[in-house]
Amino acid sequence: MTHRRRMIPAVAALMVFAAACSNDPPPQEPVPTGPTAEELAAQARADSIARAQAQAEADARAAAAAAAAEAAAMERRVAAARATLEETIYFEYDESSITSASERVLREKVDILRGSPAVRIRVEGHADERGSNEYNIALGTRRAEAVREFLGSFGIDANRVAIISYGEDRPAVNASSEQAWSQNRRAEFVITAGANQINPGM
């Protein structure tokens, strides 16, 4: 009987505990702490647009750089072609015939003139100081005419090539020596029209 009395309070306590447990609220769903699916989708779209914009800007910069490089290269080719057109040729003493060295230069001029129909040039004939002024004027004329005829033999219209002679009046080197004379017996070239329409070719 005593043992049963001791059991009663324990059973009662256990029943109170069970009752208390049965009154606890049910566990709640965990509240999500990260972005929602809609937010993730929006962020993905924004990232895709940003990448596309960045790629478009990179492509535009690359295209602009390529265009600038091509323009610079063309500018260098035009400058080189102009320098070729303006390159001086030289003659032997008291001669107006085209030397082999001068022929190579003139052939390069022909190629540029063929591709640049708007270009006009003037050939200026010169002589060294030896001989009379009248003779040297005539010699300068023959030299300039020889150049025009050479260009004409390759199809360059004579109307595109004006000639003039300065004789001994405009020496390139103002001295009396063979080295100076060799620089003074020459033909110089001046572009008189179409300087901005030079086609340098390939």
Domain count, the chain: 1
116 within domain boundaries: yes
| pLDDT recorded at residue 65 | 86
| Residue 23 placed within a domain | no
Q: Model-level pTM?
A: 0.71
* Domain that residue 110 falls in: 89-197
Chain segment 2-41, per-residue pLDDT in tens = 555 555 555 555 565 555 555 556 667 666 677 888 888 8
Cβ within 8 Å of residue 121, ≥6 positions away:
85, 113, 160, 161, 162, 189, 190, 191, 192
pLDDT by residue (tens digit) across 33-83? Answer: 778 888 888 888 898 899 898 988 888 888 888 888 888 888 899 999 999
Nearest to 111 by CA among 147, 84, 77, 90: 84
In a domain? residue 144: yes
**Considering the domain boundaries, does residue 193 fall inside one?**
yes
Q: Does 79 reside within a domain?
A: no
pLDDT digits (tens, 9 = 90+) for 150-193: 999 999 999 999 999 999 999 999 999 999 999 999 999 999 99
Is 13 part of any domain?
A: no
Domain containing residue 154: CATH number: 3.30.1330.60
The upper half-sphere exposure of residue 150, i.e. CA atoms within 13 Å in the direction of its Cβ, equals: 25
Q: Domain for residue 146, yes or no?
A: yes
Structural domain contains residue 51: no
